[in-house]
Amino acid sequence: MARARAVDDSQIVKIMETADQPLTAYELIAKLPARQRPSPPVVYRALERLNADGRVHRIESLKAFIPCRSHGHDHEVVLAVCTDCKHVEEIEDHGLCRVVSRWQDTSGFSAAQKTFEIMGQCKDCSTH
C-alpha cells in the first residue's frame, strides 16, 4: 500500500493567503504542484490541525477555509461572508467575546467551536 504523502502546513496557509476567496480542500490540492499532491484525507487532517491551532478558519456555510488574519488569537470568530462573490471578512470583536464568555459561565455550556457567520452582500456586490 502506498504511503500517504505528507503536506506542509505552512504551504497550505501560503496558498490560502494568496487566494482571492475561501478554498475547499480539493481546491487546495489542485493548487499544489502535481508531484506534491497529497490525498484528500491528508489535507483534511492538516486543515483540522490548522483550524485547531487558530491558523485557519473553517467557513461552515461554504465548506471552505480562509487563513486567520489575527494569527494566534484564542477567541470567538465572526466572519462576514458575501453570498455573491464569496469574499470573507474576519471581524475581531472583543465585546462579543465577553458576552459569549459570560453566557458560558452562567449556563455551564462548553463550546467546542465559537465561529459566527454573517451571510449577506459585501459593499462591492450590493452596489451592482
Whether 22 contacts 68, CB under 8 Å: no
Q: Would residue 26 count as lying in a domain?
A: yes
Q: Would residue 4 count as lying in a domain?
A: no
Its domain, for residue 83, covers 9-126
Positions of the chain with pLDDT lower than 50, given as ranges: 1-3
Q: Would residue 45 count as lying in a domain?
A: yes
How many structural domains comprise the chain?
1
For residue 63, what is the domain's CATH number?
3.30.1490.190
pLDDT of residue 1: 42
Beta carbons within 8 Å of 120's beta carbon, 6+ residues apart: 80, 81, 82, 83
Q: Would residue 3 count as lying in a domain?
A: no
CA separation for the pair 74, 115 (Å, rounded): 11
Q: Would residue 56 count as lying in a domain?
A: yes
